[in-house]
A and B are shown apart, each in its own frame.
Chain A
Amino acid sequence: MTTMLQKPADVQQAVPPAGATRPKRLGEGAVGFFMALPPILLIALFVGFPIVLAFGFSIGLTGGLNHTIAIIGQNVHEADSWWGTLAAYQEMFTNKRFLGDLLVTIIVTLVGTATVIFLALGIGLYLKLKGGRMARLLSGLAIVPLFIPVVIASWAILTFYSGTGFLRSVFALAGLDFPVWAFTMVTVIIGSVWTSLPFAVLMVSSGLQSVPNAMIEAARDAGAGSLRTIVSVIVPMAAVPIIIATTFTAIGIVGSFTVPYFTGPNSPNMLGVDMSNYFSAFNQPQQSAVMAFTVFLIASGIAALYVWANFRSAKEQGKA
């Protein structure tokens, strides 16, 4: 556990500018390009292409490769003009069930992400500023969910907060009544925080750990209090890893399926769950595709932040 937050100092300097340190040889670029190609092709074929195809399906283009699914599915809106139709989108965005799901998804993502980052920052700062056995214990605890498959975690959390769960048992023994949280959005948020915590803690504390101690002491010598030091020195210097942790957590929660599937209510639930309901149980693949693109839109907004943060950090390192 002691090695946890060591960030090899030489890594950052050893990382690219690849090829910039020595004269570029002709052909090296081509070799690199072809070596990097296989995973890109895999993704183009099984992620990029299906997304284009499914987008076509969602706007009613039911020919070609979409033919089979259009026959199997029910309630399919077919294109009435050359570019398609927005009928499926219109149907879903006036559908109360979908709008409820969308609202719930946004709330769970916001509350869950905020809680995860707050906890990760708290643990990371405690580790950086105080250290000691208690801090290592805390960060060790926060990593535990990484070891547990999400399916099991969701189910364990459900039974823990259920009608006959631990919390209700403890309160009942004391003669008090504790609310049943199982199958409510409270457990969904708890489950999302539980499963997202390890990655955020690893990312945030590794970022905080690389803030030079000399900077912190300098701020203190200049008369800054603990809070002031944290807010205007430590957190800004670790901004990039914190943003990466935030975006990955938010993307993970917005698209989550297993946690809300096990622990959430029937309706309204998160979009990931209802997407699968529309696809399998209701056999309405087009409506399901509309939901998928709604989640994509939210996720790509978050993803843009991630890419921006990374390139900002790459630029800073290039300058240094």
Chain B
Amino acid sequence: MAINAGSRAASRIRRPLTLDSIVRSALVGLFVVLMVVFILGPLLWLGVRAFAGNWTFPHLLPDDWTLRWWQVVINDGALGIAVQNSLFFAPLTVLVSAIICLPAAYAFARFEFPGRRFFLISLFATNAFPKMGLFVTLAALFYALNLMNSVLGILVVHVLGTVVFMTWIPAAAFAAVPRNLEEAARDAGASKLRVFASVTLPMALPGIIVAAVMSFLASFDEAQGTYLVGAPAFMTMPTQMYSLVLNYPTQVAAVFSILLAIPSVALMLAAHKHILGGQLAEGFQIK
């Protein structure tokens, strides 16, 4: 009863503000509409194009619809090879990156060793330096080592782009595993390896999954370095986009865009709970 009276009183106090609050929610509504147009508009505009026949300028929808462009993409050999190359490099990159970086992530989380902080900062350096600048400087070395237009060269470029994700995010995840749980398992007689496999690893797994997803996408989306090091011998899906936009009708590029976005969207949706749950944000704070 008392609560009811209280809330009634509160609503009575709020009433004189209604005009103000209407204006305020109208402003918020306007902002949301603008954000929808800003964020989703370009994607929808592009998506429609993939099914469009003729499209007269000021009309908001195409004059007729067709699946012709999908046929063009499926029948084009070069595009098929680009898809294959992308699907070859991305998993390989994640695997190599995990082998190199995960032990380091564990070390950063659990051991205090000389140079730890220096190491963390040098890892950050790969991210702080603009990618295009790095690739331009890499080129001299790649020419000298004969890595231009080679699988190994592209793999190096792709793995470099994943090191920060594969080290920082799992490191934060390992660090978040409570030590006393590990120690309890040790006290119960489990070996170090056993503790790691059945306590530490499962608890840190969401962070490792986020890191793997981000690395896969980093490799899958990597365009500038692959183009500089691999083109024209090795074209992946994103590098193929560069020439597609110039040489094909816009509808073909639209179809290809949808194909290229499918793995990203699928993986992100699968891992979005962990990414939004703070694993990503947590990983980017050096500790």
Contact = CB atoms under 8 A, between A and B. Distances in A.
Nearest to A278: B136
B223 A152 contact: no
B113 A169 contact: no
Nearest to B265: A147
Interface residues of B, number: 101
A14 to B, nearest CB: 5
Interface stretch (A61-69, A79-87, A95-103): A61-69
Nearest to B162: A39
Contacts of B58: 168-169, 172-173
A65 B106 contact: no
B130 interface: yes
Contacts of A37: 104
Interface in B105-146: 106-116, 119, 121-134, 136-141, 143-144
Contacts of B46: 152, 155-156, 159-160
Contacts of B28: 126, 134
Contacts of B197: none
State the 9 A-B residue pairs at the shortest beta-carbon distance, nearest first: A255-B130, A32-B111, A292-B133, A54-B137, A19-B112, A35-B107, A32-B113, A156-B42, A303-B128
Contacts of A150: 221, 223
A36 B113 contact: yes
A66 B278 CA distance: 44
Given A36-B119, A194-B38, A254-B130, A151 B260 contact: yes
Interface stretch (B2-10, B11-19, B72-80, B175-183): B175-183
Main secondary structure of the interface of B (DSSP, over half): helix
B51 interface: no
A10 B276 contact: no
Contact of A16 (B43, B55, B112, B138): B112
B136 A285 contact: yes
Contacts of A156: 42-43, 45-46, 257
Interface stretch (A20-28, A212-220, A229-237): A20-28
A289 B139 CA distance: 10
A72 interface: yes
A1 B276 contact: yes
A114 interface: no
A53 B137 contact: yes
B124 A307 contact: yes
A296 interface: yes
A164 B49 CA distance: 12
Contacts, number: 337
Contacts of A146: 268, 275
Interface in A175-227: 190, 194, 197, 199, 202-203, 206-207
A317 B287 CA distance: 9
B60 A169 contact: yes
Given A50-B140, A257-B132, A258-B223, A313 B285 contact: yes
Contacts of B163: 39, 42-43
Contacts of B108: 36
20 contacts: A3-B277, A7-B281, A21-B179, A33-B107, A36-B116, A36-B119, A39-B123, A50-B137, A50-B138, A65-B140, A141-B32, A155-B257, A159-B46, A160-B42, A169-B60, A172-B57, A251-B127, A279-B228, A292-B137, A310-B287
Nearest to B60: A169
A149 B129 contact: no
Interface centre among B59, B121, B123, B144 (most CB of A within 10 A): B144
Contact of A4 (B134, B265, B277): B277
B235 interface: no
A49 B144 CA distance: 13
A170 to B, nearest CB: 7
A314 B286 contact: yes
A319 B41 CA distance: 48
A302 B128 CA distance: 8
A153 interface: yes
B160 interface: yes
B40 interface: yes
Contacts of B113: 28-33, 36
Given A35-B107, A66-B140, A152-B241, A300 B128 contact: yes
